[in-house]
Amino acid sequence: MVSGSEPQQGHRAGAYKQKNKGHKHGKHRTKGEIERETKGRVSVTALTKKQRKEARKTDKRHKANQLRRNKKDQVLTEKRHLGSRDGPPHTVAVVALHADVDTEAVMRLLRCEGSGGLARDDQSVCGVSDSFGLVMPRFKQRFTFLRADTADLHSLLDVVKIADSLVFVLESTEGWDTYGDYCLSCLFAQGLPAYALVCQGVSDLPVKKRLDSRRTLAKISEVRFPGARLFPLDSDQEATLLVRHLGTQKQRRLGFRSRRPHLLAQRVSYTPNSSDNGPSTGLGTLRVSGYVRGCPLQVDRLVHIAGFGDFQLSQIDAPVDPLPINSTTSRSAKPGKEGDVDMQDGGINEEVRVLMKADPACVESLQAEAEIDPMDGEQTWPTETELLEAEEARKIKRVMKVPKGMSEYQATWIVDENDDDVKEEEESTDEDDDDEDVMMAESIDGEDLDSQLDTASGCGSEEEEEEEEEELQSTSDKGGADQRYDEHIDEEEEGEGLKLYREARANVMFPDEVDTPLDRSAKTRFQRYRGLKSFRSSPWDPMENLPADYSRIFQFQSFERTRRRILAETAQEDEGAMVGWYVTIHVLDVPPAVMESVKAGRPLVLVSLLPHEQKMSVMHMLVRRHPSNTEPVKSKEELVFQCGFRRFRACPIFSQHTSADKHKLERFLRHDAPTVVSVFAPITFPTAGVLLFKQRENGMQDLVGTGTLLSCDPQRVVLKRIVLSGHPFKINRRSAVVRYMFFNRDDILWFKPVELRTKWGRRGHIKEALGTHGHMKCVFDNQLKSQDTVMMNLYKRVYPRWTYDPYVPRPLTWVKGEETQVPDDFDME
């Protein structure tokens, strides 16, 4: 038996004892604590790359649907607004495309007197003899119908610019004649609104021939109006259907008029300025009443009257709407929300409300040209080096012959002959251009060219001429007919036409080639020209040696950015006279010729200009030669421009349409490619249609080109190229002796750095001059052929001439039945 107790030993865990993790109780937060900290905020869920891509695609699709829906709602709103109670009347112009069409019968039927239409002759368009207002209570719409005078081309173009719809009246068998097709060419180039084709006389035909007549007209109209519907118009019922179609058809948006407020005058009055403070200026205030269209009209903006210039406004009044749809109600013009006015019918003796008056501090200026500072040149103080050079030049004694008895002071005023030569060379830029054109016409192969032209014009041999003379002698009647035919030919005009044709033909056969003068040094003659290593990549400073006219124009830092900003601001404007209001605007300092034009039966169109559109700059237009024009159109020749709402005369220059920073001058308007036309003109923001006309001596204006407005860029570099040609006299492996390019040694040394090229693609340079008669040794990259021609390209920058003239004489009025008034070279195809 063992006495007492032995102490027990504790267990010690080995190296392989399992160890469990302890509970992390200190960092745990309850749900309540988390809600109190976040305070209802939801944590952002991290999306994967695929989910973000799907979300972007969905957002883009939703955004596109929203923009499409907003655009559709805007178009529907504008369509419902036109001709409605709160919108301007639907303006419809009736245009006759054939001389035998009776438009008076069309205007009588469009009154819709048998269908409940209320025609009001007192609401006619001012200056248009045949026009009336029409209210259709059945359609809840109102219209203004006017007959466009196709004989006056300017009036026709002005009416179509503001018309909402056109009604083209066709002849039942031919559709349109030659002059009608000429008018269509002008209208399509300017921009055509919504239209409808109308034909008369189909119901008068036998029943079996009506279908054939409609098929024939549909086939003819398919050329100009593909897919257009042809409306017969011989009864009141057909007239009602046509009016209903005009009021509901889809409208075509024209950018140049939808972005500018414009107005067709319905009431015009003129008050000469009082001569209390001085002599009479011959100007006056013109009050024009009409409906605002396009955009809200601002009183501080300038307005342009087509054919007369830009003017300022003094105030805008709100008279009673003379053509309400609901004629039974008689409510006056009430001030609405935010100062707007509800343009409803009111009492006859109600006072006219003044909507707004011009603020002299905010009204835009009529300044079109920049102020010229004659001292705004290089005003820097000369450097020490320049002062030393001037002092040395002053110390150099100038030896000259002085008359006996003349003092030293008087002798300093004697001008050297060299100074005279320099001044004459500076003043002869335009003369040199003309001389170059003459030299091109009289090229090296001038005799061959004349013979080719004579052959092309049908000149026969001497035997054929003798046979013709015998035939003329044997037939006296034919000789009398020839004499009568010759009476209508202007020999001067024929000679000028032949000269112009030869120049154009020479430019095609020998492009830009110029003969080196024998009696004058080429270094002096072509001192304004320089050579370029590469026309595409060689630098040319656009601010170098600018002419004095460039100090009179304005320039934008970024024309495209300014255009986007101004158009965006105009689209968001909600002040001024709203679209559809009947207002009276007071135009200041208007010449009395405007009223004479209105009394002569011409429509009066006013358009509010956007900011900066009254200022002069260099405008560029992209124009394509019209197929009907066959006569050559030379650069710097006076043309008549129709650019948007403006009409003016100017002498433009032509250049190639490329994406480079330099553009080659075109001596003639090309017929196979679009050409850029540059001219000094008031600024106009694109888009706008452009029409080019050439004024004849008899007053007729021929359409020579159509296009669109391109940009406003005074820094666009247009280079005129001349080509000096030479003949390889002796040919070695890579070198050759060239002659006939220059005729003295000094000219060869002067033009030695300029690169040479040949018609067969060789390139080289002048190595040295041989002798004193213009022979030179040249080295090329490969051996020349004996039939090759060595050429040297020289360039100089050219600028448009300041020949802008806002006054354009009206074209010769076309008389029905006179075929000679239609352009002779116009081709309906």
- The predicted-structure confidence for 236-260, as pLDDT tens digits, reads as follows 888 899 999 998 888 888 888 889 9
Q: What is the mean pLDDT of residues 535-549?
A: 90
Predicted local confidence at residue 765, as pLDDT: 93
pLDDT at 208 over 80: no
Q: What is the mean pLDDT of residues 501-511?
A: 73
Predicted local confidence at residue 706, as pLDDT: 93
Q: What percent of the chain has pLDDT over 90?
A: 34
Pairwise pLDDT comparison (819 vs 722), residue with the higher score: 722
Range list of H helices, 510-652? 522-525, 559-571, 593-599
Backbone angles phi, psi at 606, to 5 degrees: -120, 140
pLDDT at 450 over 50: no
Predicted local confidence at residue 65, as pLDDT: 92
pLDDT interval class at 611 (50, 70, 90): very high
Pairwise pLDDT comparison (423 vs 244), residue with the higher score: 244
- 546, 658, 712, 797 from 715: Cα distances, Å: 10, 15, 9, 11
Pairwise pLDDT comparison (792 vs 350), residue with the higher score: 792
Backbone angles phi, psi at 148, to 5 degrees: -80, 140
The three state secondary structure string of 118-169 is EEEHHHCCCCCCCEEEEEECCCCEEEEEEECCCCCHHHHHHHHHHCCEEEEE
Predicted local confidence at residue 138, as pLDDT: 83
581 by Cβ neighbours in 10 Å (0-12 / 13-18 / 19+) ranks as buried
pLDDT at 119 over 60: yes
**Euclidean distance between CA atoms 221 and 208, whole angstroms:** 21
Pairwise pLDDT comparison (440 vs 34), residue with the higher score: 34
Secondary element (H or E) of residue 468? helix 462-474
| Close Cβ partners of 781 (under 8 Å, ≥ 6 residues apart) | 734, 762, 763, 764
CA 721 to chain centre: 26
Q: Which of 316, 270, 186 is nearest to 691 (CA)?
A: 186
Instruction: Compute the mean pLDDT over every residue in the chain, rounded to the nearest whole number.
Output: 81
Predicted local confidence at residue 620, as pLDDT: 95
Predicted local confidence at residue 716, as pLDDT: 94
User: Angle of helix 446-456 relative to helix 491-509, nearest 10 degrees?
Assistant: 120
Phi-psi region of 140 (alpha: psi -120 to 50; beta: other; left: phi over 0): left
Predicted local confidence at residue 484, as pLDDT: 64
pLDDT interval class at 825 (50, 70, 90): very low
pLDDT interval class at 467 (50, 70, 90): low
Q: What percent of the chain has pLDDT over 70?
A: 79
Q: What is the mean pLDDT of residues 296-308?
A: 91
Predicted local confidence at residue 112, as pLDDT: 82
What's the pTM? Answer: 0.75
pLDDT interval class at 431 (50, 70, 90): low
Predicted local confidence at residue 219, as pLDDT: 87
Predicted local confidence at residue 796, as pLDDT: 94
Task: Give the largest CA-CA distance in the chain.
Answer: 182
pLDDT interval class at 329 (50, 70, 90): very low
In the block, tokens 């190296």 appear at: 15
Q: Which of 176, 151, 148 is nearest to 162 (CA)?
A: 148
Of 463-467, 516-520, 553-557, 620-624, the poorest mean pLDDT is in: 463-467
pLDDT at 763 over 70: yes
Q: What is the mean pLDDT of residues 347-367?
A: 79
**Euclidean distance between CA atoms 84 and 80, whole angstroms:** 7
pLDDT at 128 over 80: no
Of 49-53, 95-99, 446-450, 590-594, the poorest mean pLDDT is in: 446-450
DSSP state of 323: S
pLDDT at 445 over 60: no
DSSP state of 196: E
pLDDT interval class at 793 (50, 70, 90): very high
In the block, tokens 């002053």 appear at: 394
pLDDT at 74 over 70: yes
Predicted local confidence at residue 343, as pLDDT: 35
pLDDT tens digits, one per residue of 625-648? 998 888 889 999 999 999 989 999
pLDDT tens digits, one per residue of 470-487? 554 555 555 566 666 566
Predicted local confidence at residue 497, as pLDDT: 72
Q: What is the mean pLDDT of residues 9-32?
A: 77
Amino acid at 531: G
Predicted local confidence at residue 71, as pLDDT: 87
Predicted local confidence at residue 492, as pLDDT: 72
Task: Report strand pairing: 616-625 vs 309-311.
Answer: unpaired
Predicted local confidence at residue 515, as pLDDT: 87
pLDDT tens digits, one per residue of 255-275? 888 899 999 999 999 999 876
Per-position b or e across 138-176, b if 16+ CB within 10 A of its CB: ebebbbbbbbbbbbbbbbbbbbbbbbbbbbbbbbbeebb
Predicted local confidence at residue 710, as pLDDT: 93
Q: What is the mean pLDDT of residues 390-399?
A: 72
Predicted local confidence at residue 348, as pLDDT: 36
Predicted local confidence at residue 334, as pLDDT: 39
Q: What is the mean pLDDT of residues 554-577?
A: 90
Predicted local confidence at residue 325, as pLDDT: 79
pLDDT interval class at 824 (50, 70, 90): very low
pLDDT interval class at 412 (50, 70, 90): low
Give me the count of residues in the chain: 829
